[in-house]
């Protein structure tokens, strides 16, 4: 049974290992919803992490890949010997196999975003759990009871018998233990991570936005899922508040499913745009002030300051309006 899946961008990281543990620890309906994927509980029934973990020797397999909560660290932790895939054969044999093609080199390119690729692999994992042949692992009782020879069916069968020693932490404990810790800025309208804005009803009712309104902006600790920052979790000490990514103006919600790498890139694009706007603003003002002077024959800024208060009266305003009315009508204007 594939009980968890983790992702990283560019290279293998410790965050990907922790994400796989986070996925294993919580209900899969909740985990998949973080990527915009809807499933039923029976689609991926496993919940909980093993107290006995065997790590590979990948570049992300470091101390940072372990739980931040000492109570959720594995009771037994092993590392596979170098160049000995047989030490964890049950894992290695389930990895996708790549067929070596003859001829000139080639590669695959996709138009999917990083969270969409993650969603694709999540559904691929679920499909594997319902299609891999585990008939050799069915004992006599399971065969007599007609257990279907797939990992998902075998898991449910053994779980009903109590043959499950997985550790099942609360969702909030799993967030604190496995997700990446970040710092968010609290303003009076929402919380911000980099340039991304996050809000929720729970956030509004918590009172922390009102505190920012009264005392000014401040920082709070939060947690994120690196490859899909659709949601954040704000740590208030006694509770976690889930907040949702928001758009500046009403638009398609699918663009909110982005990774932290993409948020950093978009933040840089926004900064470059602001720098470019500074020079563009001066050029735009100069262009249209010159256009005004060309069309009217008068300078754009021609008003002069005079001492004292304006002595215009209502009667003077009425007289001025009557004087220009004929000109407006001749020019095609109207009241």
Beta bridge partners of 199: 244
Q: Give the pLDDT band (50/70/90) at residue 183.
A: very high
Question: Using one digit for the tens of pLDDT, what is the confidence trace for 275-327?
Answer: 999 889 989 998 998 998 899 888 888 777 878 777 666 777 777 777 777 66
Question: Using one digit for the tens of pLDDT, what is the confidence trace for 135-153?
Answer: 999 999 999 999 999 999 9
Residue in 206, 203, 188 with CA at minimum distance from that of residue 242: 203
User: Which tokens belong to 328?
Assistant: 């407006």
DSSP string, 189-246: S-EEETTEEEE-HHHHHHSHHHHHHHH--EEEEEEE-TT-TTEEEEE-SS-EEEEEEE
Residue showing tokens 């389930």: 94
Question: Using one digit for the tens of pLDDT, what is the confidence trace for 241-274?
Answer: 999 999 988 888 889 999 999 999 999 999 999 9
Distance, first Cα to last Cα, the chain: 78
Residue showing tokens 């932790």: 77
Residue showing tokens 């050799």: 136
Euclidean distance between CA atoms 188 and 207, whole angstroms:
10
- How high is the mean pLDDT of the chain? 87
Q: Please check whether residue 247 is in contact with residue 256, taking contact to mean a CB–CB distance below 8 angstroms.
A: yes
Q: State the average pLDDT over residues 73-79.
A: 78
Euclidean distance between CA atoms 234 and 242, whole angstroms:
6
Q: Please check whether residue 186 is in contact with residue 217, taking contact to mean a CB–CB distance below 8 angstroms.
A: yes
| Sign of the CA dihedral with 82 first, then 84, 90, and 96 last | positive
Of residues 59 and 120, more confidence is placed in 120
Residue in 262, 254, 132 with CA at minimum distance from that of residue 196: 262
Let me know if 47 is exposed, middle or buried by CB neighbors in 10 A (0-12, 13-18, 19+): buried
């Amino acid at each position: 049974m594939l009980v968890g899946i983790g992702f990283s961008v560019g290279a293998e990281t410790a965050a990907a290992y922790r994400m796989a543990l986070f996925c294993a620890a919580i209900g899969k309906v909740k985990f998949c919803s973080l990527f915009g994927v809807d499933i039923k509980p029976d689609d991926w029934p496993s919940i909980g992490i093993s107290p006995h973990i065997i790590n590979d020797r990948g570049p992300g397999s470091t101390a940072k890949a372990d739980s931040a909560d000492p109570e959720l660290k594995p009771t037994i932790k092993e590392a596979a010997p170098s160049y000995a895939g047989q030490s964890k054969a049950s894992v290695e044999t389930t990895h996708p196999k790549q067929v070596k093609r003859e001829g000139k080199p080639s590669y695959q390119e996709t138009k999917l975003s990083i969270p969409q690729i993650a969603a694709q692999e999540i559904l691929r994992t679920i499909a594997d759990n319902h299609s891999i042949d585990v008939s050799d692992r069915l004992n006599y009782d399971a065969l007599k009871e007609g257990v279907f020879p797939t990992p998902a069916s075998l898991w449910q069968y053994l779980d009903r018998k109590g043959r499950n020693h997985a550790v099942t932490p609360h969702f909030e404990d799993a967030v604190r233990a496995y997700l990446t810790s970040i710092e968010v800025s609290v303003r009076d309208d929402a919380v911000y991570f980099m340039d991304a804005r996050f809000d929720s009803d729970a956030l509004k009712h918590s009172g922390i936005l009102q505190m920012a309104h009264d005392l000014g902006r401040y920082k709070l600790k939060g947690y994120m899922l690196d490859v899909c920052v659709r949601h954040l979790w704000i740590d208030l000490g006694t509770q976690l508040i889930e907040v949702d990514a928001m758009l500046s103006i009403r638009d398609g919600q699918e663009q909110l499913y982005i990774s932290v790498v993409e948020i950093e890139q978009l933040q840089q694009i926004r900064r470059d745009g602001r720098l470019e706007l500074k020079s563009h603003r001066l050029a735009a003002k100069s262009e249209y002030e010159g256009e005004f002077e060309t069309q009217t024959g008068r300078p754009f800024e021609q008003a002069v300051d005079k001492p004292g208060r304006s002595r215009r009266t209502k009667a003077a305003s009425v007289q001025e309006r009557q004087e220009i009315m004929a000109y407006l009508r001749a020019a095609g204007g109207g009241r």
